[in-house]
Structure 1
Amino acid sequence: MKLVVEVKLLPTPLQAEALEATLCACNTAASWVSGVAFDRRTYRNFSLREHTYAEVKTRWGLGAQAAQHVIKKTCDAYATLRANLTAGRLGGPGSKRHRLASGKPIEFRAAAAQPYDDRMLSWQLDARTVSIWTTRGRLKGLAYTGGREQLATLARYRRGESDLVHRDGAWFLLATCEVPEAQPNSKPVDFLGVDLGVVNIATTSDGHVMAGRRLNRSRARDHELRAKLQRKGTKSARRRAQRRRRKEARRTRDINHKIAKHIVAEAERTGRGIGLENLTGIRERVRLRKPQRAMVHGWAFAQLGVFIAYKARRAGVPVVYVDPAYTSCTCSRCGYVDKANRVSQARFVCRSCGFVDHADRNGSRNVRARAQAFWRSGAPSTAPAALTGLDADGTPQPAVCRNASASRQ
């Protein structure tokens, strides 16, 4: 299974200048290659290489491997664009957003990430340094640092490419690692149901509640501050709003990692599987008042699902995805379904048997019961690729730094 480990580079001022010049040259070349591909309608790697490879090497002074990676990066970007257009993520055919996305060549930011293979980048794991190719020569002895678990994973399982990233004034390498999966538990004794929500991020059928009030208050403050900065509209205000947005994303990602780690560890310890709701398309299904829209559309349930899925695969814990319909208004004791059972956001009272419980805990028990029934039926249960971040064959995808964040242990 593929995971991505993020390490922070510690370059000297001269080394940082060389890295910045390299990214600028590679991405300027990539934008030129993108224009050639758009004009010729040629988006395949080997076909596009015939028209651009020699020019990229001579005009921007890139090495052979760097030039090939620039061309491949451009082809990958167009493949992603085609997939998004086909899936309707950029509006329907003929819409303004669709025309803007498909009617011009893709352009790469000067600081966009650049992939490196083992011929351009070598790791000295004991010394915690790397030797990396740049347009100003090879930099040797470039120090890096990272968390203890990340460095241990890097030393044991690193395979394939690494991406050079410049973000918020700091330099990072995102290294792809092939981490072995544990033997799957084919006979779980039970299932741990998980109800996902906004007020309570996750509630388990054991009664453990991961409250989201603190996170939601922070998000509300950030949203209000970003709105003020956007109204101001200056360049420095936009820059500050971007920093706040990235800070909020890091905070949310950290909380989701902790919740996923707790859920998987509890299921692994007790020999159970995990039951999750398949929430794909929920934003299109629900109707919301205007004040609720920003809160729900900023809900990172898909990210939490991805984290639970990959951590469970690594631990050998089976995950079953169930239909979430009516789990919040169904009595987990007698099975009676009525919207009136949900008295409030936090309170559930069955109108048939009088059973009283926390609403989210009642929902998680319904998820658990559905996961048990689904598992006993023998039907395969896999979440859609959009929910889990997996390929159609179930292979986890590394977080390619060109458009995604890194997975952490």
Structure 2
Amino acid sequence: MFDVKLVVQVKLLPTPEQAEALEATLHQLNQAANQVSQLAFHTRTFQIFGLRRRVYGELKAAGLGAQQAQHVIKKVVDAYTTLRGLIRNGRLTGGRRRQATSKPIAFRAEAAHPFDDRCLSWLHDARTVSIWTVRGRVKNIAFTGSPTQLKTLAAYRRGESDLLLRDGVWYLLATCEIPQALLNAEPVGWIGVDRGIVNLATTSDGINYSGEKLTRYRRRMARVRAELQARGTKSARRKLKRRAKRERRFAAHTNHVIANEIVADAQRTGRGIAVEELAGIRDRVRLWPSQRATLSSWPFHQLGEFLAYKAHRAGVAFVHVDPAYTSQMCPNRWCGHTGRGNRPSRDSFRCGSCGFAGPADHIAALNVSRRASTVWAFVNMPNEPAVESGLNASRAGQPDRTARRKPRASALGR
């Protein structure tokens, strides 16, 4: 059983003098990181020990403490490691790759910086922190957060915390290691979750989590974004960045609420959670031009990730299943008829063989739920290698689909 790592964000409430010291500290640390990055780039020194031999003494002479000098070096090494990983995984190609590798990595003056327990002390009873700065140790910086966050922080915080300045507000991002609950290896059933656009999620219990509110919000943001882009001024670009962050936070909050409710229901009833494997969905579907922007920005993957980590933390079984034909297959155990004709419209399902009918999203969730039992049996089969993500196992007994055509975009809004 492994601990689940979560990041808890708390808001700092510094006085003007404290905020000035924090800002000066971030600026000096990131300036030092830029100097180290330039040296690493020009000397091709990207290993932590080699870089430490070159710059540690200079960083100490510049007024940084021993721990902060180490953190600056590690920050630079980690940045170049991440860059190499993006290139190796094919996520940075063409002109973007040439641009990224043609110059040293640069750090913004207010970029986040890590502090360990030697540089940052938490006083949970007083709800204050004491932190090292370039102007000396600054004590009694107040912080606040939700009751759940503060409770988690006090009980499970481990390792470093990142100091962050965002839109004029100071935050600390602390890593917490929460013990994972004992896994329920024998769930009494499965909650199938069908993800879509019109309905963000529909469960096999028939519960719909409508995406109407999020859709309206994103359409309004799209209109505002178009107006700001038309202006083209620096002020407009700053507002665009702030609004993009706000939109991401709104979508993430919506997904958190949905995931929390589904996981709580599964934990209460002793069931597992099954979702469709939607990796590569943007490459598998044919889209109308008007649908491309909606699909490319829709947080399918984020909701799946939230469900996965919350389920693991709660000890709830979680699997991915093959998404093929979930919205076209009759869930009746004695039928199983599959065909496009079973979907007379986007929202409805009616089996052309046995007449079984219902909302299309609910039908898809039922099929996801029923495939989960097969996946779980294969994954936990003794003396057999586990099947990655359960995807291949879920295809056991399914018809050969090597020559099937791509599903139409209409299936995305199930």
TM-based fold match above 0.5: yes
User: CA, structure 1 residues 382+204, in 2 after alignment: closer, same or farther (shift >3 Å)?
Assistant: farther
SS in 1 for 2:136: coil
8 Å CA contact 1:123, 1:131 repeated in 2: yes
| Structure 1 residue 187: Cα displacement | 0.8
Q: Secondary structure of 1:179's partner?
A: strand
Give distance in 1, aligned partners of 2:106 and 2:297. Answer: 27
What corresponds to 2:409 in structure 1?
none
Distance in 2 (CA, whole Å) between partners of 1:264 and 1:355 is 29
The match for 2:313 is 314
1:115 Cα offset (Å): 0.3
Write the distance in 2 (CA, Å) between the matches of 1:382 and 1:217. Answer: 37
- CA distance in structure 1 between the aligned counterparts of 2:158 and 2:340, rounded to whole angstroms: 51
Query: Using the alignment, how far apart are the partners of 2:14 and 2:270 within structure 1?
Result: 46
Deviations 1:306-343 (A, max 9, x none): 11111111110010111111112111112111122222
Greater displacement, 46-55 / 374-383: 374-383
Q: Unaligned 5+ residue runs, structure 1?
A: 385-409
Deviation, structure 1 residue 149? 0.3
Tell me how far 1:381 sits from its aligned partner: 5.6
- Aligned residue in 2 for 1:96: 95
Deviation at 1:57?
2.5
Instruction: Report deviation, 1:90.
Output: 1.4
1:281-321 Cα distance to aligned partner (Å, 9 max, x none): 11122221221111111111111111111111111001011
Aligned to 2:41: 38
**Where does residue 204 of structure 2 map in the other structure?**
205
Q: Runs (4+) of structure 1 moved beyond 6 Å?
A: none
Superposition deviation, residue 86 in structure 1: 1.0
Counterpart in 2 of 1:154? Answer: 153
Report the equivalent of 1:397.
none
- 1:1-400 to structure 2, matched below 5 A, reads 1-59=4-62, 61-91=63-93, 95-333=94-332, 334-377=335-378, 378=380, 380=386, 383=389
Distance in 1 (CA, whole Å) between partners of 2:132 and 2:86 is: 33
**In 2, are the aligned partners of 1:320 and 1:381 still within 8 Å (CA)?**
no
In the TM superposition, what whole-angstrom CA distance separates every residue of 1:92-143 from its partner, at most 9, and x where no partner exists? Answer: xxx2122112222111111110000000000011000000011111110000
Deviations 1:193-231 (A, max 9, x none): 000111110000000000001101110110121122112
Counterpart amino acid of 2:83?
Answer: L
The alpha-carbon deviation at position 4 of structure 1 amounts to 1.0
Question: Distance between the aligned counterparts of 2:28 and 2:285, measured in 1?
Answer: 46
Aligned alpha-carbon RMSD (Å): 1.3
Range moving further from structure 2, 155-164 or 36-45: 36-45
Which residue is 1:404 aligned to?
none
* Secondary structure of the structure 1 residue equivalent to 2:193: strand
Letter in 2 for 1:343: P
If the length of structure 1 is used for normalisation, what is the TM-score? 0.91
CA distance in 2, matches of 1:283, 1:106: 31
What is aligned with 2:408?
none
The superposition leaves residues 42-83 of structure 1 with CA deviations (integer Å, 9 ceiling, x where unpaired) of: 111111111111222223x21111111011011111111111
Q: Secondary structure at the match of 2:152?
A: helix
Residues 155, 381 of structure 1: alpha-carbon distance in 2 compared, 3 angstrom cutoff: farther
Q: Does the 8 Å contact 1:347/1:359 carry over to 2?
A: yes
Alignment size in residue pairs: 380
Q: Percent identity?
A: 57
Deviations 1:220-250 (A, max 9, x none): 1101211221121111111111111111111
Shift in Å, 1:383? 4.2
Measured in 2, the distance between the counterparts of 1:42 and 1:343 equals 62
Contact 1:321 1:381 in 2 (8 A): no
Gaps of 5+ in 2: 391-414
Q: Structure 2: how far apart are the matches of 1:57 and 1:226?
A: 46
Q: Which residue of 2 aligns with 1:388?
A: none
Shift in Å at residue 382 of structure 1?
A: 5.2
Question: What does the per-residue CA deviation read over 1:348-393, in whole Å, with 9 as the maximum and x for residues that have no partner?
Answer: 1112222111111100111111111111233546549xxxxxxxxx
- The more displaced of 180-189 and 374-383 is 374-383
Q: What are the superposed Cα offsets for residues 11-30 of structure 1, whole Å, 9 maximum, x if unpaired?
A: 01111111111111111111
Matched position secondary structure for 1:218: helix
Q: SS of the residue aligned with 1:186?
A: coil
| Worse overlay, 375-384 or 206-215 | 375-384
Larger radius of gyration: 2
Judge which range, 34-43 or 112-121, deviates more: 34-43
Distance 1:285 1:68 in 2: 46
- Whole-Å Cα distance in 2 between the matches of residues 31 and 345 of structure 1? 53
1:240-266 residue CA offsets vs partner (Å, 9 max, x unmatched): 111111111111111111000001001
